[in-house]
């Protein structure tokens, strides 16, 4: 993937937002935005050159811009995000169905819910450096934040942007192209986080208690037992399987301690 920071040295903020706000129409805004080298770089990294540039630009416009640009009061990524949410759900369902033939409908549903959650979708966007392309209003500080421990507002905006781009690709060229764009997002994710987007370890992190219960019932026909106690103002949980200590976890709440104990048990007993 091209190094986008090397291709362009500023975000869509400040002077950029001012120029966009001064546009007399959406077409003016589109013409200005697509003239930027970084937009061509984004299309290259997405693996799709949009036939209708209005779709791509709209997918990048954060609702905050409408507060400052009268012509864009009703133009932002929200409608495309609505569509892209369903596109993403379908693509995930197909991918999980094909890659995990032994898993039940319930397991696949949990996997999809996790992968389609805001935090995971945002990671797809951060892997593609999407935060550098979203067009915010001058009054918001979101575009000034880094992706190291990003604020919730930026996480939400990047996740919305991913879905909006998938929706835009679907309208622009159909489901197969939207699928190809999604694959580009997952490739960027793998490069950034050094793991596959559908890595089974990810699901263990998401809902370790449910995952461990399913594993225990399948392998041993027993349920795990959680024994929690307080130690130095922290809850400590011992996890017992078949009378043996399988894992131990700590947390500020019972739920957190149990989840951490389940994660350790999964790592100790069910590594695959």
Tokens 């507002």 sit on residue:
153
Determine the Cα angle at 96 with ends 204 and 221, to 5°: 50
C-alpha–C-alpha distance, residues 263 and 257, integer Å: 10
State the catalytic residues.
85, 163
Q: Which residues contact 248 (CB under 8 A, 6 or more apart)?
A: 236, 237, 238, 239, 261, 264
C-alpha–C-alpha distance, residues 152 and 191, integer Å: 23
Determine the Cα angle at 107 with ends 238 and 252, to 5°: 30
C-alpha–C-alpha distance, residues 116 and 189, integer Å: 14
Instruction: Determine the straight-line distance between the first and last CA of the chain, rounded to whole angstroms.
Output: 30
What are the tokens at 87? 């596109």
Backbone angles phi, psi at 86, to 5 degrees: -70, -35
What are the tokens at 35? 């003239």
C-alpha–C-alpha distance, residues 83 and 87, integer Å: 6
C-alpha–C-alpha distance, residues 24 and 118, integer Å: 34
């Amino acid at each position: 993937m091209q190094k986008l920071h090397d291709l362009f040295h500023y975000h869509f903020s400040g002077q950029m937002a001012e120029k966009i706000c001064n546009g007399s129409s959406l077409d003016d805004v589109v013409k200005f935005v697509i003239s930027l080298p970084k937009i061509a770089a984004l299309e290259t990294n997405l693996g799709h050159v949009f036939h209708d540039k209005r779709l791509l630009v709209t997918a990048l416009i954060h609702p905050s811009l409408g507060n400052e640009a009268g012509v864009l009061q009703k133009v932002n990524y929200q409608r495309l995000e609505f569509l892209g949410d369903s596109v993403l759900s379908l693509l995930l369902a197909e991918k999980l169905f094909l890659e995990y033939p032994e898993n039940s409908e319930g397991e696949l549903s949990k996997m999809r819910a996790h992968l389609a959650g805001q935090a995971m979708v945002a990671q797809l966007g951060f892997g593609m450096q999407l935060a550098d392309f979203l067009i915010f209003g001058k009054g918001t500080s979101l575009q000034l934040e880094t992706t190291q421990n990003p604020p919730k507002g930026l996480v939400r905006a990047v996740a919305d942007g991913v879905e909006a781009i998938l929706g835009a690709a679907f309208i622009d060229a159909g489901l197969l192209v939207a699928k190809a764009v999604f694959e580009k997002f997952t490739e960027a994710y793998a490069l950034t986080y050094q793991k596959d987007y559908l890595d089974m370890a990810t699901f263990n992190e998401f809902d370790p208690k449910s995952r461990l219960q399913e594993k225990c019932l399948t392998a041993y026909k027993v349920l795990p037992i959680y024994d929690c106690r307080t130690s130095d103002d922290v809850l400590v949980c011992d996890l017992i399987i078949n009378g043996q200590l399988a894992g131990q976890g700590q947390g500020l709440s019972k739920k957190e301690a149990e989840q951490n104990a389940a994660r350790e048990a999964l790592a100790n007993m069910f590594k695959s």
